[in-house]
């Protein structure tokens, strides 16, 4: 009962906030919207922590197998007696972990936004959208049904659209929001078909049924189409949805543009929570991905490719938020890489636990990075690193927390990123090639993060030290508190025995790694940091020289491998220019032309017949008699006798 209460409290608080703030419009509640939303979120976050405590320590004993629980369920839509959509709340290690992550980060971002968006005219709407997002994300992670996942998946997408396009008077924000929605929608098209395939081949959309009845999964292994089984098709297409939401190559193009949204939004949605939905999806449907032989490979390869690609691009970008966006993409790639390895079966536990652990720690340190970047942007009024530099004196607290987060994401012990990334690499240890690439990603991560760090906080000073970092009390509370809390979480989260909470099948998996396994990643990270320090700690010609050394490769990476241009070509030129235009033309000219032609023909016919209607009485009489005569002749000729 307690669990039900907590769980409902977690999701209903943001929903209530959305309804109240949404109905209030943009003029009412203007002052108090931020605090109201924050208060609701703090209830939600507290309930999430209580629920976690209750679930892990009261309902289950730590170190033993975790029993999934369902606290709530109702019939939302029935297609037929056996196929239905239930809405409910499913609790297991994964969903409880996600609840805690989403609600805490969301709370901190709410608090931060209270101050950050103070001067916005649509302050109330902003918080309404933020609450909608939080509600949808929370609903997503506790799903009991494939269609429930899809339901909240789309709601998450639309709230992301609303928040990216929050500054809708800027055309760039509008087009970024549109791009994000359309790209993820394209991915969701695959997701929806994947749901249909999986649902039908296993005769249920219900997750419990799906996992419990392995016989259906067997049936799903029969060939469906093009030599691949139903389960392979289904999981592949669902992964397409996940890849879209998680900005994986080749569907990643929306994420950098999404940085048009307000910075706290980037921290919450495009770093900590929504973009990891793809990882969550694969983890949630892990039993299916395990039995689909091809999909696991695809997940692994896509994950690692995106990770590497994003890391390379991140090294060349100069917009602080875009660097962070590519870094997010790179880290999510690593998570999916770990999950893919786990689904392949060789390092099942390590890969799964590692990726979820990384998801958890990444959520905190990436949110921290974004919020810290927000403070910086607020101060210098620019996203470009060339406008920054030497800020460590002006913004000491921000500098400190940014450094902690950078060390964590680079994987330097004893910060949290080290432990989680280490576990993923542990899973890859048996594949030398992949392990090598993952190490490369690790080194690149350290390089670009510290490049960013040095360019922002060291290098040549861009601002004179004028005023204190956080002048007012409310800024100290709204900015300082989230930064400090996230920094502490970033520092200590690594010590959580994560494998005991979240593991495949709920069976605890304590991670053990030898010192020998620790050395390569840490070494790679230190190399990356050293190169970054060499190039960027002071203003020098070295970066240009480095770029010149790479020549064409640098410029291609700087242009993001021309993937955006390729998409633009396909959509603008082909879909709009050719297909759309010809469809519209055909409709007006050919189909409607045929209708008008029919009308025209009838008109011609009537013109022809018009001369008969002369208005002359005797003409009419003449034709009348002709007709009567003809009738008489016919009757005479064809009379019965």
Partner 1 sequence: MNLHLLILIPLLTAVTIALWGRGQRAALIATAGAVVQLGLSVLLYLTFTAYRQHHAGEAFVFEYRHVWYGPLQIAYHLGVDGISVAMVMLTAIVVLAGVLMSWEVSYMPREFHTLLTLLGAGAYGVFLSLDAFTLFFFLELAVLPKYLLIGIWGSGKKEYCARKLVLMLMLGSALVLVGLLGMYFGGPRSFSIPDIASSRLAPEVQQWVFPLLFTGFGIFTALFPFHTWVPDGHSAAPTAGSMFLAGISMKLGGYGCLRTATHLMPDAAQQYAPTIIVLGCIAILYGSLATLMQKDIKYLNAYSSISHCGFVVLGIGLLTQTALHGAVLQMVSHGLMTALFFAVIGIVYERTHTRQLREMGGLMQAMPFAVTALFLAGLCSLGLPGLSGFVAEATVFVGGWQQPDLLSRTAVVIACSSIVVTAVYILRAIGQVAMGPLRGLVSPHPVSWAERLAVLLLLGGIFLMGLWPEWLVQLIQGSGPAGALPDGLTAAPVEAF
Partner 2 sequence: MDVLNFLLITASGLFFIGVYGFLTRRNLLTMLISAELMLNGAALNLVAFNRYRWPEELDGLFLAVFIVAIAAAEAALLIAIVLRLYRNTRSVDVSDITELKH
Task: Please report, as ranges, the residues that interact with partner 1 according to CB under 8 A.
Answer: 25-26, 75-80, 83, 147, 150-152, 154-155, 158, 161, 165, 168-169, 171, 174-175, 177-178, 181-182, 185-186, 188-189, 192-193, 196-197, 199-200, 575-576, 579-581, 583-584, 586-587, 591-592, 594-595, 599
**Residue burial 310-331, b: 16+ Cβ < 10 Å; e: rest:** bbbbbbbbebbbbbbbbbbbbb
Distance CA 203, CA 217 (A): 10
Closer residue to partner 1, CB minimum distance, 196 or 533: 196
CB of 251 to partner 1, least distance (A): 12
Smallest distance from the beta carbon of 641 to partner 2, in angstroms?
16
Q: 297 to each of 165, 197, 239, 303, 590, how far by Cα in Å?
A: 36, 20, 12, 10, 48
Identity of the residue, 553 or 623, whose beta carbon is nearer to partner 2 in the bound complex: 623
Please report how close the Cβ of residue 636 comes to partner 2 at its closest, in angstroms.
Answer: 14
Among partner 2, partner 1, none, residue 615 binds (CB under 5-8 Å by kind):
partner 2
Nearest 5°: the CA angle 89, 344, 95 is: 15
| Cα separation, 35 vs 118, whole angstroms | 11
What residue 574 binds from partner 2, partner 1, none (CB within 5 to 8 A, per partner kind)? none
- Of partner 2, partner 1, none, which one does residue 510 interact with (CB within 5 to 8 Å by kind)? none
Select the binding partner of residue 178 from partner 2, partner 1, none (C-beta < 5 to 8 A, by kind): partner 1
- Looking at the Cβ atoms of 600 and 620, the one nearer to partner 2 is 620
The residue ranges that bind partner 2 (CB under 8 A) are 613-618, 620-622, 625
Phi, psi of 442 (to 5 degrees): -60, -45
User: Among partner 1, partner 2, none, what does residue 614 contact (CB within 5–8 Å per kind)?
Assistant: partner 2
For residue 187, with 0-12 CB atoms within 10 Å meaning exposed, 13-18 middle and 19 or more buried, which class applies?
buried
Cα–Cα distance between 229 and 217 in angstroms, integer? 10
Burial class (CB in 10 A: 0-12, 13-18, 19+), 639: exposed
Residue with smaller CB distance to partner 2, 582 or 614: 614
CA distance 325 to 310: 9
Closer CB to partner 1, 594 or 631, in the complex: 594
Which residue, 62 or 598, has its beta carbon nearer to partner 1? 598
First to last CA, the chain: 98
Least separation in angstroms between residue 601's CB and partner 1 is: 13
Q: Rounded to the nearest whole angstrom, what is the least distance from the CB of residue 449 to partner 1 in the complex?
A: 34
151 binds, among partner 1, partner 2, none (CB under 5 to 8 A by kind): partner 1
- Give me the least distance between CB of 92 and partner 1, in Å please: 23
Tell me the closest approach of the beta carbon of residue 606 to partner 1, in angstroms. 13
What is the token pair recorded at 172? Answer: 């760039």
Looking at the Cβ atoms of 135 and 454, the one nearer to partner 1 is: 135
Nearest one of 151, 446, 371 to 277, comparing CA atoms: 151
Of these partners, partner 2, partner 1, none, which one is at the site of residue 572 (CB under 5 to 8 Å by kind)?
A: none
Greatest CA separation for the chain: 123
**Minimum distance, C-beta of residue 200 to partner 1, in the bound complex (Å):** 5
Which of partner 1, partner 2, none interacts with 119 (beta carbon under 5 to 8 A by kind)? Answer: none
Which residue's CB is nearer to partner 2, number 570 or number 632? 632
Binding at 618: pick from partner 2, partner 1, none (beta carbon under 5-8 Å per type): partner 2
Instruction: Tell me if 277 sits within 8 A of 245, measured CB to CB.
Output: yes
Distance of alpha carbon 58 from alpha carbon 69, whole angstroms: 13
Instruction: Report, in Å, the least distance between residue 615 CB and partner 2.
Output: 4
DSSP secondary structure letters along 369-414: HHHHHHHHHHHHS-SBGGG---HHHH-HHHHHHHHHHHHHHHT-TT
Q: What stretch of H or E contains 212?
A: helix 207-212
Least distance in angstroms from the C-beta of 614 to partner 2: 7
Structure-block tokens of residue 201: 């081949």
Tokens representing 464 are 């004179």
Tell me which of partner 1, partner 2, none is bound by residue 518, counting a contact when its beta carbon lies within the kind-specific cut-off of 5 to 8 angstroms.
none
| Residue 233: contacted member of partner 1, partner 2, none (CB under 5 to 8 Å, by partner type) | none
Distances (CA, A) of 411 to 9, 414, 415: 36, 8, 7
d(CA 264, CA 118): 13
| 293 touches, from partner 1, partner 2, none (C-beta below 5 to 8 Å by class) | none
Residue 379's closest CA among 448, 449, 468?
468
Provide, rounded to whole angstroms, the least separation between the CB of residue 306 and partner 1.
22
- The rounded distance, in Å, linking the Cα atoms of 70 and 73 is 8
Distance of closest approach, residue 628 Cβ to partner 2, in angstroms: 10
Percent helix, strand and coil across the chain, each to the nearest 5: 75, 5, 20
Rg (CA), the chain: 31
The count of other CB atoms within 10 Å of the CB of residue 573 is: 10
Residue from 401, 394, 392, 321 nearest 368 by CA: 401
Nearer residue to partner 2 within complex by CB, 618 or 641: 618
Least distance in Å: CB of 622 to partner 2?
Answer: 6
Q: Choosing among partner 1, partner 2, none, which partner's interface includes residue 545 (Cβ < 5 to 8 Å by kind)?
A: none
């Amino acid at each position: 009962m307690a669990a039900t209460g907590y769980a409902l409290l977690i999701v209903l608080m943001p929903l209530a906030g959305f309804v109240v703030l949404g109905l209030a419009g943009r003029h009412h509640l203007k002052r108090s919207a931020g605090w109201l939303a924050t208060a609701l979120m703090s209830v939600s976050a507290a309930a999430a922590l209580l629920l976690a405590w209750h679930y892990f320590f009261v309902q289950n004993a730590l170190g033993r197998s975790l029993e999934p629980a369902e606290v709530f369920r109702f019939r939302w839509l029935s297609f037929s007696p056996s196929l239905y959509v239930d809405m409910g709340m499913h609790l297991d290690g994964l969903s409880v972990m996600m609840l805690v992550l989403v609600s805490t980060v969301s709370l901190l971002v709410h608090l931060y936004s209270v101050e950050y968006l103070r001067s916005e005219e649509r302050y109330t709407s902003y918080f309404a959208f933020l609450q909608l997002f939080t509600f949808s994300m929370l609903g997503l992670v506790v799903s009991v049904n494939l269609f429930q996942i899809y339901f909240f998946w789309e709601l998450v997408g639309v709230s992301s659209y609303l928040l990216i396009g929050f500054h809708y008077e800027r055309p760039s924000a509008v087009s970024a929001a549109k791009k994000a929605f359309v790209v993820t929608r394209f991915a969701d098209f695959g997701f929806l078909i994947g749901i249909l395939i999986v649902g039908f081949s296993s005769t249920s959309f219900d997750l419990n049924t799906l996992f419990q009845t392995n016989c259906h999964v067997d049936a799903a292994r029969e060939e469906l189409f093009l030599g691949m089984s139903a389960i392979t098709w289904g999981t592949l297409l669902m992964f397409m949805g996940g890849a879209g939401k998680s900005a994986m190559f080749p569907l990643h193009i929306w994420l950098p543009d999404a940085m048009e949204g307000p910075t706290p939004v980037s921290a919450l949605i495009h770093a900590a929570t929504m973009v990891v939905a793809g990882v969550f999806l694969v983890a949630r449907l892990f039993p299916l991905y395990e039995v689909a032989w091809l999909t696991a490979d695809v997940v692994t390869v896509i994950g690692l490719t995106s990770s590497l690609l994003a890391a390379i691009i991140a090294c060349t970008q100069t917009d602080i938020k875009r660097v962070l966006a590519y870094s997010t993409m790179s880290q999510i790639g690593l998570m999916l890489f770990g999950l893919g390895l786990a689904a392949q079966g060789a390092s099942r536990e390590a890969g799964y636990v590692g990726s979820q652990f990384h998801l958890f720690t990444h959520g905190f340190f990436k949110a921290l990075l974004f919020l810290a970047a927000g403070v910086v942007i607020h101060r210098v009024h620019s996203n470009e690193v060339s406008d920054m530099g030497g800020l460590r004196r002006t913004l000491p607290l921000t500098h400190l927390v940014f450094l902690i987060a950078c060390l964590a994401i680079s994987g330097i012990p004893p910060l949290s990123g080290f432990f989680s990334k280490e576990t993923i690499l542990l899973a890859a240890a048996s594949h030398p090639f992949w392990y090598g690439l993952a190490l490369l990603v690790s080194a690149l991560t350290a390089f670009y993060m510290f490049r960013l760090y040095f360019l922002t906080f060291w290098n040549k000073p861009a601002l004179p030290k004028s005023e204190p970092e956080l002048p007012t009390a409310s800024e100290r509370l709204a900015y300082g508190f989230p930064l400090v809390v996230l920094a502490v979480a970033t520092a200590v989260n690594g010590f959580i025995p994560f494998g005991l909470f979240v593991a495949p099948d709920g069976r605890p998996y304590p991670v053990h790694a030898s010192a020998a396994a620790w050395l390569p990643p840490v070494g790679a990270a230190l190399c990356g940091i050293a190169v970054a320090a060499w190039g960027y700690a002071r203003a020098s010609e070295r970066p240009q020289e480095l770029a010149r050394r790479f020549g064409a490769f640098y410029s291609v990476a700087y242009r993001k491998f021309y993937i955006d241009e390729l998409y633009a070509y396909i959509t603008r030129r082909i879909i709009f220019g050719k297909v759309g235009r010809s469809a519209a033309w055909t409709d007006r000219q050919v189909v409607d032309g045929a209708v008008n032609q029919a009308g025209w023909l009838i008109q011609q016919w009537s013109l022809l017949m018009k001369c008969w209607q002369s208005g002359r009485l005797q003409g009419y009489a003449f034709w009348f008699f002709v007709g009567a005569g003809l009738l008489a002749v016919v009757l005479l000729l064809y009379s019965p006798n």
